[in-house]
A and B are shown apart, each in its own frame.
Chain A
Amino acid sequence: MATTMLHKHRVSVLFSFGRSLYRRINVSQGEFGLQQKCSAYSRPINTLSASEAVAEIKNMPDESRPMPAKKPISKAMKAYLLQAKNYDEFMKKQNTEFQIGRRHLANIMSMDADTMTQEDIDQAIEFLFPSGLYEPRARPMMKSPELIFPPKKAAEFDESGRPYHSLFYTMNPNFYGLLQEAVTEYVNLNKEEDNMIRKRISFNSDMKIILSGSDWLSQEKLSNLLIEQIDDAQYEQFKNVMLRLAEHPLSNKVKDFIMKYRYSLVNEAALAEIPKPSYEKDGRAYVTFKGARRKNAYADVTVHMPGTGKFLINDCDIEYFQDIQSREQITFPLIFTALLGKVDVTATAIQGGTTGQSGAVRFGLAMALRSFVDDKMVERMRLAGLLQVDWRTRERKKPGQPGARRKPTWKAR
């Protein structure tokens, strides 16, 4: 009876503070009642500005409204408030410094500080502090402090120190909440599967999720998403649980849940971006692809449609390439798309050797041909490896050894 009273009491207190607190901590009224379903607790706790929290809590004893007897603030809450205050002050200071820095930078670059975007800042920094460091994060940078310092969680407990989340004492409530949600989904799918078997409904491969083309979020990204530090073992656990769920024969039903924790491997927008052909005065359609590369060679390729299969490479016909393999290379996209003899190809190739130049022309030609074939053929070309830049280059020789990888013959003495 006493606990029920307490619950009622807390709910009334919360409502008396108004909607903002209620909304901010992202806890619904039902969750304060008896703990019925664990999955109800797995909602991630949102971040909040600490100053807001402090102000709100300071304003709590409002005389105009009737208040129950003042409750002592727990030590946990006090510690949190102090921490939040410090964090907020720190961020405020960082933000001021960033704004001043931005103004200085705008002055140096003679730009308008108010309209300066992050992109402009990055360009300016790269111009003023050129760096040859390989790792991008090691290079000089200037970013908004929100992008650099990890976000902090809002208070996870009330003034009396009682946690909101049922998994609070696991230290990682969002992470374990996620696992619990996955398991709940799995159990539900199992029930559905049982039902289907009972009703003799047959399964097909469309009911299972296709995972190819995407990968699990990295440990770092998952940590950021859940606002929790996730260690290696936990990340493994996450992957195992999610994979188990994904391998369920009915996993397509929970596609949205699974795909929330995966990212796409290809840039779909870039794939769909195919230029429209322009037209010459004589009515022939043409498309130019510039800057195709392979090894050290670069090529610009123009394709004219309709044509008679003429090649013009550096003002020479196909005999510009003297070996058969190179000629084979530049006709490969045409044979593949069955456009050999139906288009004219004009190309300029510079630098590099024969293989590099023919490879660059091949890539440029394949990219330009996309405008003259249907979507299905474009996908076929992609699967044939025609639309992928071959970015492999020769590995440099290392000092102290005869080649890139080869070591001198071992001599004992």
Chain B
Amino acid sequence: MSSLTKLISTLARVSDTKLALLNHSNVQIISSAKMSQYPKYFIDPTFRNDELNALYETGEVKEKALVPCRAALTEHTSSEFYSSFTRKFINHVMRKGNKQLAREVVEKAFEVIKKTQIQKYHSLPPEKKVDFTIRDPHELFHQAVINVKPIMVLTPIKRGGVRYQVPVPVDDLQATILAYKWFIEASKDKERTVRFYNKLAKEIMDAANNTGRVVKKKLDLHKQCEANRAYAHYRWN
């Protein structure tokens, strides 16, 4: 791993901001203003009570007074069960616009996770129960994605008529999207009798422990990047 970070620093052309992006942080959902049906000056809604309170505390709300605000989206709610991170994943699971099904599947997977966690807790001897905290499936999923996000990926770059697989650093959003994709791929690769949500729950729990095939996939990719480090200079010449 240390050699990999070294490789990144040898790439050297990576600006500080890019390196900052490599640090694992929450997904920044970038709204596309390009095709928006709202005029440009409309601001995005702040529909979470805690976020809104923070706006009032920092005084930022003064600047937002009398600026028109877009309507909250259908998936937005100030309910405590809302997690923007999970909602984004639901959108990736969705096929052919069937969000109802996608949401059902992901929620079932989370139910399985919760049940397994509780079972684990009750099977422990009493002295170990103190250390074991039953974690929120949303939190567990967040941890799993952080564990699975790659630092570097391979990009085909054509030089002298030959395609080289060149290792390049990947930004936070792309890494998250890759992680989502790998979770879905791993959960789909199963026996016919096994349910998608059961497999997804298993993969998430494994990844949160830093084990399992999705984490292995990330490590394999990193290993390949390491192997192809000789091509790294093709990024800029």
Contacts and interface: CB of A to CB of B under 8 A. Distances in A.
A380 to B, nearest CB: 6
Interface in B36-74: 37-38, 41, 44-47, 49, 52, 55, 61-72, 74
Interface stretch (A46-54, A66-74, A231-239, A323-331): A323-331
A325 B75 contact: yes
Given A329-B74, A385-B76, A324 B103 contact: yes
B79 interface: yes
A391 B44 CA distance: 15
Given A383-B45, A384-B45, A332 B70 contact: no
B64 A328 contact: no
B100 interface: yes
Contacts of A368: none
Given A212-B63, A265-B41, A383-B52, A388 B69 contact: yes
B77 A383 contact: no
A161 to B, nearest CB: 47
Contact-residue bracket for chain A: 20 to 34
Please tell me the size bucket of the interface on B: 20 to 34
Nearest to A363: B71
Contacts of A384: 45-47, 52, 69, 72, 78
Given A325-B103, A384-B46, A332 B78 contact: yes
B69 A382 contact: yes
Contacts of B76: 332, 385
A383 B68 contact: no
A191 B38 CA distance: 42
A335 interface: yes
A314 interface: no
Given A335-B79, A384-B78, A213 B69 contact: no
B71 A389 contact: yes
Contacts of B65: 212-213, 379
A383 B46 contact: yes
B235 interface: no
B contact patch SS: loop
Contacts of B223: none
A215 B37 CA distance: 19
B99 interface: yes
A329 B45 CA distance: 15
Nearest to A326: B74
A329 B68 contact: no
Contacts, number: 90
A178 interface: no
A264 interface: yes
Contacts of A213: 65-67
Contact of B68 (A332, A355, A379, A388): A388
A79 interface: no
A336 B68 contact: no
Nearest to A268: B66
B103 to A, nearest CB: 7
Given A213-B67, A266-B66, A384-B52, A391 B72 contact: no
Interface in A367-413: 379-380, 382-386, 388-392
Contacts of A197: none
A385 B72 contact: yes
A212 B37 contact: no
Contact of A331 (B68, B72, B75, B79): B79
A319 to B, nearest CB: 15
Interface string A247-284: 00000000000000000111010000000000000000
A385 B69 contact: yes
Contacts of B67: 212-213, 265-266
Given A210-B63, A325-B99, A384-B47, A335 B68 contact: no
A359 interface: yes
A385 B66 contact: no
Contacts of A383: 45-46, 52, 55, 61, 64, 69
Contacts of A215: 41
Given A385-B69, A385-B70, A332 B79 contact: yes
B89 to A, nearest CB: 15
B52 A380 contact: yes
Contacts of B72: 332, 384-386
A268 to B, nearest CB: 7
Contacts of B71: 363, 385-386, 388-390
B47 A336 contact: yes
B90 to A, nearest CB: 10
Nearest to A336: B78
Query: By CB atoms of chain A within 10 A, which of B46, B61, B74, B100 has the most?
Result: B74
A386 B71 CA distance: 6
Closest 7 CB pairs of A and B: A385-B45, A213-B66, A385-B72, A390-B71, A388-B71, A384-B47, A212-B63
17 contacts: A212-B66, A213-B66, A213-B67, A215-B41, A265-B67, A325-B99, A331-B79, A332-B47, A332-B72, A336-B78, A358-B74, A383-B69, A385-B44, A385-B46, A385-B69, A385-B70, A385-B72
Interface of A: 210, 212-215, 264-266, 268, 323-325, 328-329, 331-332, 335-336, 355, 358-359, 363, 379-380, 382-386, 388-392
Given A212-B63, A332-B79, 10 more contacts: A212-B67, A214-B66, A264-B66, A265-B67, A265-B68, A268-B66, A332-B77, A336-B47, A384-B72, A388-B71
